[in-house]
Amino acid sequence: MIFSHVEVFRMDYKTRIEASIQEHLDAYMEIVKTLYENPETGFQEYETQKVLVKYLKDAGFDVKSSVVIDTDFVVEYKSGKEGPTIAYMCEYDALPEVGHGCGHNLIAGIGIAAGEALKSVVDEIGGTVRVVGTPGEENFGGKVKMSEAGVFDDVDAALMVHPSTENGRWRFYQLNMNSLVRMHMDAILKRDIVHWMQLLVHIHRFQCYVSL
């Protein structure tokens, strides 16, 4: 089979993105575990914020904490070339008494993985990678407050995943969630968390513009 130069170019990015995730997978799993074992409820995620921000700072992102809410963060990496601003969401608050029953610790780990993976190639393709920590999503709507403050005004695509109680094939629209822009698509979610991370990184190619 003969591939065009463009196809080879894209394959190389895909391979490198997947390699970045595999390289740091143990660190992502440690984040997920740490958050699970130390749950903090909405707008009280002070220690969680420290864990996530430290990792992202060490990974080479420019970090801003407490931008709108005490326990939020906005970190980014600019390639220096023109291109879109792609933002990955991190939720990380837990439920009272229950803990991380909704898997927000997973959302945080996957969001960081996606941001760091795209950062590994963005210097060549152009644009800005942003990872946004949105606290208080169980009850208080951290994204709403941050959106009202303008955090997403210059974002071209804002993306995240949310774990479910079931593995397998499903359609996003079956979740009965509404947005101004929505794409119907199928996803095969494997047991290994790395597939969640890879899925989130690759979705940015669709340029799904999301109303927050």
Encode pLDDT of 139-190 as tens digits. Answer: 899 999 999 999 999 999 999 888 876 655 445 445 555 544 444 444 444 4
Instruction: Tell me how far apart the terminal alpha carbons of the chain are, to the nearest angstrom.
Output: 43
pLDDT at site 14:
87
Q: Dmax of the chain from CA atoms?
A: 57
Q: How many CA atoms lie within 13 A of 183 on its CB side?
A: 12
pLDDT at position 96:
94
Q: Which residues have CB under 8 Å from 115's CB, separation 6+?
A: 56, 61, 75, 77, 88, 129, 130, 131
**78: pLDDT strictly greater than 90:** yes
Residue whose C-alpha is closest to residue 175's, from 137, 184, 104, 98: 184
Q: Give the sheet arrangement for strand 157-159, strand by strand.
A: 62-65, 73-78, 128-133, 85-90, 157-159
Higher pLDDT, 67 or 176: 67
Euclidean distance between CA atoms 141 and 110, whole angstroms: 20
Per-residue pLDDT band for 198 (boundaries 50, 70, 90) equals low
pLDDT tens-place string over residues 4-44? 444 444 558 889 999 999 999 999 999 999 999 999 999 99
Q: Apex CA 85: angle with CA 82 and CA 91, to 5°? A: 160
Rounded CA separation 193/211 (Å): 27
